[in-house]
């Protein structure tokens, strides 16, 4: 029972993180039909940037997270401006190869700058609620909820789930209630018509990249708090998040959120009950099966052919 | 390419065939000169240069194979390394487990590669663009995970297969870099011949028609599914051939060789030379395949250098797509 509960929580936390990354993929794809492979690397750089800020400067943790979000938003817009915008009217294959090129460049830049070593946030830099521990002698639990069988539920996990829910809700409101959200939806429906109605398409695309990247940065910090920060984290989590976006129907923000949760749970339960070695493979299998059987995803409208 | 046997081409072929002689000649001469004066040779010996050339040749082979799917049918294959893996492990396991001769294991590996190409190809027939790319990527990653995790299949952790025997011909064991060089040269000649004949046949024209407009091709009476499947099978078979040769070059296998980035490396070669162009794929393979090795010798071994190499490849991909989407070497024919 306790194992089940732990895996459930683990899956929900992972799912929340995947959802945060997946909306970045799905929003960009919804408007310019490009799989932004570099999104995983932006997520990774967000984690590194926050880590550098808390270790090298006296900034408090939360300020570092906010700055890291700003940094990633700017980085996302910059990537769009430098690499993708000149190829807006080029064949789709060119843009896709460019995206792979950006991803490769950023990943190896990170490897060169910070080596492949795993890093974590130092304990004294983290706010108190993220420092959960258990006193082995007294059995007293700090910053965590004790569970039966001696397991604990750290506040970090609860915080991540809550944060993901809040951010997702905020994003949903942003897309549906604000002017920029309306412009984004218009561009996703038909960029040319949107442009004719006076919407500056390129600006909207920049904003989309910025929002997706900022959410990616938050997810990066969360992974850094819970697991470890390393250059390849963007690649592994990025693929799982992309699978989540595909599962929910690419281009569909609500779908990406639910897809993230499903992928997270599938990894946790599959890894826990079937085989730990194949933990990464579950996302791939789900992704392939969804693309082959129902390319529009669970929640997407079925389109004739998504070329 | 009307007159295939022009004097230039004959001279080129002769030079390629006699590179080892040239290298050993230089080596001998340099040794005679330098040894007498007690210098250390500033250049690596002929044998290690031949090894680099053989490795480069392997990449050329893979680039020519990937070019069939990426270039002719215009589908982005991000999982080519999967077939390379299939070929490598087919030969590795057949030779170490069952003691089968390399010359029997080689065609079996090629067939196995074609089988996996079809297995992956048939479900993805109706996919295009991004979705095809994603499925190919996922497929290669799954193969990687299986080899990494299934110890009963491979017999060792992390897909290690050690001490793969060398092939021998007329009682001569092919364990010298010189032999590897000619080995890959013959394989390349074979693959280039097949690829060239296919390109200039009914099949090749059908592929290009599918690339340019699938629906138009279908309405002209081209059986799109059949020709696409053929492209997948041939391309995969060539990938497996590359894997088979790799077992001879290295004599052991580890799953790390077959990581995702290797697919991108091969893709980079095809893109550099210009997709859909055999000469381009060959030259792209030579440039990128040798670049890493040359850098390693010039700058000395350094783990950061491997990262720098991939960083450069990433930048190459971005710049090429921006300024020369048809490749640096040749215009698309």
First and final C-alpha spacing in chain A: 45
Residue B238 lies in a domain: yes
Distance from CA of A200 to the nearest CA of B (A): 23
What is the reported pLDDT for B310?
A: 81
B96, β-bridge pairs = none
Residues of A in contact with B145 (CB under 8 A): 277-278, 280-281, 284
A291 to B78: CB separation less than 8 angstroms, yes or no: no
Which of B9, B70, B37 lies closest to B232, judged by CA?
B70
Residue B237 lies in a domain: yes
Cβ-nearest to B131 among A102, A284, A306: A306
User: Which residues lie closer than 8 Å to B318 by C-beta, 6 or more apart?
Assistant: A83, A98, A101, A102, A105
Q: Residue A285: phi, psi to the nearest 5?
A: -60, -45
Sequential DSSP letters for chain A: -HHHHHHHHHHHHHHHHHHHHHHHHHHHHHHH----TTHHHHHHHHHHHHHHHHHHS---HHHHHHHHHHHHHHHHHHHIIIIIGGGTTS-HHHHHHHHHHHHHHHHHHHHHHH-S--B---GGGS-GGG--EE-TTT--EESEEE-GGG-EEEHHHHHHHHHHHHHHHHHHHHHHHSHHHHHHHHHHH-HHHHHHTT--HHHHHHHHHHHHHHHHHHHHHHHHHHS-B-TTHHHHHHHHHHHHHHHT-TT-HHHHHHHHHHHHHHHHHIIIII-GGGHHHHHHHHHHHHHHH-TTTTTSPPPS---
Cβ-nearest to A288 among B135, B148, B264: B135
Residue B221 lies in a domain: yes
Q: Using CA atoms, how far apart are residues B291 and B279, in angstroms rounded to an integer?
A: 18
Per-residue pLDDT tens over the stretch A102-112: 998 999 899 88
Share of chain A above pLDDT 70, in %: 93
Query: Does A307 have pLDDT greater than 50?
Result: no
A291 to B308: CB separation less than 8 angstroms, yes or no: no
Residue B190 lies in a domain: yes
Chain A contact for B322 (CB, 8 A cutoff):
yes
Residue B314 lies in a domain: no
Which of A139, A147, A143 lies closest to A130, judged by CA?
A143
Residue B76 lies in a domain: yes
Cβ-nearest to A102 among B149, B271, B314: B314
Kindly report the average pLDDT of chain A as a whole number: 85
- For B236, the token pair is 């995969």
Cβ-nearest to A108 among B74, B142, B310: B310
A221 contacts A63 by C-beta, under 8 angstroms: no
Query: Does B170 have pLDDT greater than 50?
Result: yes
CA–CA–CA angle A79, A80, A86 (5° rounding): 115
**Average pLDDT for residues B153-162, to the nearest whole number?**
76
Find the residue in A nearest to B150 (Cα): A277
Best-predicted range by mean pLDDT (A80-84, A114-118, A293-297):
A80-84
B321 to A97: CB separation less than 8 angstroms, yes or no: yes
Percentages helix, strand, coil for chain B, rounded to the nearest 5?
Answer: 75, 0, 25
Cβ-nearest to B141 among A93, A102, A284: A284
Kindly report the average pLDDT of chain B as a whole number: 83
Stretch 92-131 of chain B: residues touching chain A, C-beta under 8 Å: 123-124, 126-131
Full-model pTM: 0.85
Distances, alpha carbon A99 to alpha carbons A79, A106, A114, B309, in Å: 9, 11, 22, 18
A284 to B138: CB separation less than 8 angstroms, yes or no: yes
**Average pLDDT for residues B59-75, to the nearest whole number?**
89
Cβ-nearest to B145 among A96, A106, A280: A280
Find the residue in B nearest to A278 (Cα): B145
What is the reported pLDDT for B179?
A: 83
Chain A contact for B305 (CB, 8 A cutoff):
no
A293-302, B237-246, B316-325: range with lowest mean pLDDT: A293-302
Query: Does A274 have pLDDT greater than 90?
Result: no
Domain membership of residue B61 as a residue range:
44-261
B271 to A83: CB separation less than 8 angstroms, yes or no: no
- For B330, the token pair is 């040749």
| Side-chain-facing half-sphere of A282: CA atoms under 13 Å | 22
Q: Using CA atoms, how far apart are residues B184 and B93, in angstroms rounded to an integer?
A: 21
> What domains are there in chain A, each with its CATH number?
2-293 (1.10.3470)
Per-residue pLDDT tens over the stretch A198-234: 888 889 999 999 999 999 999 999 998 888 898 888 8
Residue B82 lies in a domain: yes
What is the reported pLDDT for A7?
A: 85
Residue B59 lies in a domain: yes
Q: Max Cα separation, chain B?
A: 74
Which of B237, B234, B250 lies closest to B92, judged by CA?
B250
Query: Does B110 have pLDDT greater than 80?
Result: yes
Chain A contact for B19 (CB, 8 A cutoff):
no
Per-residue pLDDT tens over the stretch A116-143: 888 888 877 777 777 776 666 766 777 7
B261 to A104: CB separation less than 8 angstroms, yes or no: yes
Structurally, chain B folds into a number of domains equal to 1
B131 to A291: CB separation less than 8 angstroms, yes or no: yes
Cβ-nearest to A108 among B135, B311, B317: B311
Distance from CA of A100 to the nearest CA of B (A): 7
Please, which pLDDT band fits residue B59 given cuts at 50, 70 and 90? very high
Residues of B in contact with A107 (CB under 8 A): 310, 314
Please, which pLDDT band fits residue B302 given cuts at 50, 70 and 90? low
Per-residue pLDDT tens over the stretch A26-82: 889 888 888 888 999 999 999 999 999 988 888 888 889 999 999 999 999 999 999
What is the reported pLDDT for B331?
A: 55
A87 to B141: CB separation less than 8 angstroms, yes or no: no
More confident residue, B241 or A283: B241
């Amino acid at each position: 029972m306790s194992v089940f509960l732990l895996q459930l929580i683990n899956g929900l936390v992972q799912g929340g993180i995947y959802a945060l990354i997946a909306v970045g993929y799905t929003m960009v794809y919804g408007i310019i039909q490009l799989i932004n492979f570099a999104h995983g690397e932006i997520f990774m750089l967000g984690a590194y940037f926050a880590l550098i800020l808390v270790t090298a400067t006296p900034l408090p943790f939360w300020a570092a997270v906010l700055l890291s979000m700003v940094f990633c938003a700017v980085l996302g817009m910059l990537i769009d401006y430098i690499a993708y915008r000149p190829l807006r009217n080029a064949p789709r294959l060119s843009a896709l190869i460019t995206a792979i090129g950006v991803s490769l460049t950023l990943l190896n830049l990170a490897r060169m700058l910070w080596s492949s070593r795993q890093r974590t946030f130092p304990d004294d830099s983290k706010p108190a609620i993220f420092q959960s521990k258990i006193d082995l002698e007294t059995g007293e639990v700090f910053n965590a909820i004790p569970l039966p069988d001696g397991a604990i539920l750290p506040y970090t996990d609860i915080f991540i789930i809550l944060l993901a829910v809040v951010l997702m809700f905020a994003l949903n409101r942003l897309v549906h209630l604000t002017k920029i959200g309306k412009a984004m939806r218009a561009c996703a429906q038909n960029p040319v018509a949107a442009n004719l109605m006076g919407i500056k398409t390129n600006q909207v695309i920049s904003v989309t990249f910025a929002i997706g990247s900022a959410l990616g940065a938050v997810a990066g910090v969360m992974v850094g708090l819970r697991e470890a920060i390393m250059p390849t984290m963007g690649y592994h989590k990025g693929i799982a998040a992309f699978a989540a976006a595909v599962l929910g129907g690419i281009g569909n923000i609500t779908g990406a959120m639910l897809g993230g949760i499903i992928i997270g749970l599938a990894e946790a339960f599959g890894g826990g009950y079937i085989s730990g070695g194949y933990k990464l493979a579950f996302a791939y299998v789900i992704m392939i099966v969804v693309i082959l059987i129902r390319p529009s995803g669970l929640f997407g409208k079925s389109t004739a052919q998504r070329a | 390419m009307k007159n295939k046997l022009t004097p230039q081409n004959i001279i080129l072929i002769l030079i390629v065939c006699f590179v080892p002689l040239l290298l050993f000649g230089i080596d001998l001469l340099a040794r005679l000169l330098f040894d007498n004066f007690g210098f250390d040779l500033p250049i690596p010996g002929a044998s290690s240069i031949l090894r680099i050339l053989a490795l480069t040749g392997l990449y050329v082979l893979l680039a020519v194979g990937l070019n069939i799917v990426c270039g002719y049918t215009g589908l982005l294959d991000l999982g080519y390394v999967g077939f390379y893996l299939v070929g490598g492990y087919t030969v590795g396991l057949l030779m170490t487990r069952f003691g089968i001769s390399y010359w029997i294991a080689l065609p079996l590996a090629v067939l196995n590669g074609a089988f996996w190409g079809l297995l992956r190809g048939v479900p993805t027939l109706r996919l295009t663009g991004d979705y095809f790319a994603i499925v190919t990527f996922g497929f290669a990653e799954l193969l990687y995970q299986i080899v990494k995790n299934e110890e009963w299949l491979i017999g060792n952790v992390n897909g290690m297969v050690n001490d793969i025997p060398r092939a021998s011909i007329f009682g001569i064991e092919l364990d010298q870099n010189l032999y590897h060089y000619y080995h890959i040269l013959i394989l390349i000649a074979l693959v280039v011949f097949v690829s060239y004949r296919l390109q200039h046949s009914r099949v090749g024209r059908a592929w290009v028609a599918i690339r340019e407009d699938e629906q138009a091709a279908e309405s002209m009476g081209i059986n799109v599914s059949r020709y696409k499947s053929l492209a997948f099978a041939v391309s995969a078979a060539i990938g497996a051939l590359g894997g088979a040769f790799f077992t001879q070059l290295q004599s052991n296998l580890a799953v790390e060789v077959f990581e995702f980035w290797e697919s991108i490396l091969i893709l980079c070669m095809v893109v550099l030379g210009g997709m859909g162009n055999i000469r381009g794929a060959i030259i792209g393979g030579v440039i990128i395949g040798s670049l890493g090795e040359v850098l390693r010798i010039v700058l000395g071994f350094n783990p950061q250098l491997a990262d720098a190499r991939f960083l450069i490849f990433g930048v190459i991909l971005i710049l090429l797509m921006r300024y020369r989407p048809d490749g640096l070497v040749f215009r698309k024919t």
